[in-house]
Structure 1
Amino acid sequence: MASPQRKTIRLDDPRALRAYAHPLRLSLIGMLRRNGPMTATQCAAVLDENVPNCSFHLRQLEKYGLAERAPAADGRERPWQATAASTSWTDDSDDPEARVAADQLNAAILRQYIRRAQAYLAVRGEETAEWRAAAGFSDDMIYVTAEQLAGLTERIEALLAPYRDRTARAEGSRPVTVVQLAIPTPEDGAP
């Protein structure tokens, strides 16, 4: 198998998209990708969940190729690992069921980002002035074609790529979530 650090798994099946859209499954995969192999017990402790629930959802992730058992140092531990560094899916399917499933997954991910941003705001005052100045929210209104937006997205991805390598971390670095929302907006500014 290709190294999970570089591999992307693609989900096209609506069932797999809906399965991945579960909030706990998204959290589990995110945690395995950030931290490396973990047992269901370790996952449960970090996520404040119960072990049987984490075990069940890890098995569901395995069913869709998103997680797998990792080699264990001792026979008692049963760690899990992510099978890929990222997951992709299509938002432009001609299949209505696939479009609905992709929208459900996108909505679940958006809810996670909102929760993460709210959690950051709750502790933002405890950050150093340097981190408070560097992190935060912004938005901008741009006028582009679909082709230009796709090109801009590619350039943003290329700009972020060097910072994804965990082995090349600068001293003092810490994990930062960068969220990109490219949402067509009505001309009149209506929500």
Structure 2
Amino acid sequence: MPTPHRRLSDPRELNALAHPVRMAIIELLSISGPLTATELADRLDETPANCSWHLRKLAQHGFVVEAEGGKGRQRPWQVPGLGFRWDEEHASATGEQRRAAEGLSDVMMGRAIDRLRESQQRAPEDTDEWRAARNNTEMVAWLTADELREMNDALNAVLDWYVERLTDPGQRPAGARLCEFVAWGVPTYFPGVDPA
């Protein structure tokens, strides 16, 4: 499994990312490579000034860096590496760290759910081939902690099969489209259902 380039624990870093525009900037730079504030603004329906301001905030924490080429308003930005990891429930985390991590998780999951809804709305416009390839899955199962860890590790291994295609366009086969998978494996709590 590829290791995310950065582990976050400082509440200031977590809070800096926990903003929808900043997260959108990180996502676009991760997917599309270096972009200027103007290019980001066009894609995000924001102003270049607003994107510049958010880029500077991200740069203060090392989440983005200037890319080569361009000057002034035409300077491109890039991410220095792909992926972040943070713990919401780490035992040693302070209350402030937990709240900041939960805030970042909420922003990320909210954005993923928004993309799912958009994909569902656009599905009727898609080809039969792409509609047949779609899938939504939800399940619950009785597992031990070891089994839950094994299942999460197995899901992560499958999700990592094509991760190199994100940064190497040469590995993308003809007809490939950007697809998203969101998974979580956690203990769940139903009213009146106690552990076995």
**Which residue number corresponds to residue 51 of structure 1?**
48
Unpaired runs of 5+ in structure 1? Answer: none
Q: TM-score, normalised by structure 1?
A: 0.89
| 8 Å contact from structure 1 (residues 6, 84) kept in 2 | no
Cα distance in structure 2, aligned partners of 1:122 and 1:98: 36
Kindly provide the amino acid, as one letter, of the partner of residue 170 in structure 1.
Answer: P
Aligned to 1:124: 123
Offset, 1:116: 0.7
Amino acid at match of 2:47: N
Could you say what secondary structure the match of 2:120 adopts? helix
Measure the CA separation in 2 of the matches of 1:87 and 1:155.
Answer: 20
1:65, CA displacement in angstroms? 1.3
Counterpart-to-counterpart distance in 1, 2:163 and 2:192: 35
CA distance in structure 2 between the aligned counterparts of 1:100 and 1:147, rounded to whole angstroms = 27
Structure 1 counterpart of 2:153: 154
* TM-superposed deviation, 1:184: 2.5
Q: Secondary structure at the match of 2:109?
A: helix
**Post-superposition CA distance 1:77-130 (Å, at most 9, x none):** 200001111111122332111111111111111110111111112211011111
Deviates more, 1:17-26 or 1:76-85: 76-85
Partner of 1:98: 97
- The residue number in structure 2 matching 1:62 is 59
Distance of 2:99 and 2:10 partners within structure 1: 11
1:188 Cα deviation from its structure 2 partner: 4.6
1:172 pairs with 2:172: no
Instruction: Find out whether 1:32 has 2:29 as its counterpart.
Output: yes
- Give the match's secondary structure for 1:10: strand
Deviation for aligned residue 1:183: 3.8
Q: How does 1:74-93 map to 2 (within 5 A)?
A: 74-75=70-71, 77-93=74-90
Tell me the SS of whatever aligns to 1:165: helix
Q: Structure 2 vs 1, CA of residues 187 and 129 (structure 1 numbering), >3 Å: closer, same or farther?
A: same
**Structure 2 CA distance, aligned partners of 1:56 and 1:178?**
30
Check whether the contact 1:163–1:169 (CA below 8 A) recurs between aligned residues: no
CA distance in 1, matches of 2:52, 2:163: 28
Partner deviation per Cα, 1:1-29 (whole Å, 9 max, x = no partner): xxxx9751111101110110100111000
Q: CA 1:189–1:51 in 2, change beyond 3 Å: closer, same or farther? A: farther
Check conservation: 2:148, 2:186, Cα contact below 8 A.
no
Displacement of 1:75 after TM fit?
Answer: 3.9
Q: Contact (CA 8 Å) 2:4, 2:85: kept in 1 or not?
A: no
In 1: Cα distance, 2:119 partner to 2:157 partner: 26
Gaps of 5+ in 2: none
Structure 1 residue aligned with 2:20: 23
1:136, distance to aligned residue in structure 2 (A): 3.1
Paired-residue identity, %: 35
- Aligned partners of 2:71 and 2:114: how far apart in 1? 37
**Equivalent residue of 1:162, what SS?**
coil
What amino acid is aligned across from residue 33 of structure 2 in structure 1?
Answer: G
Which secondary structure state, in structure 1, belongs to the residue aligned with residue 143 of structure 2?
coil
- Aligned partners of 1:178 and 1:86: how far apart in 2? 15
The letter of the residue matching 1:67 is V
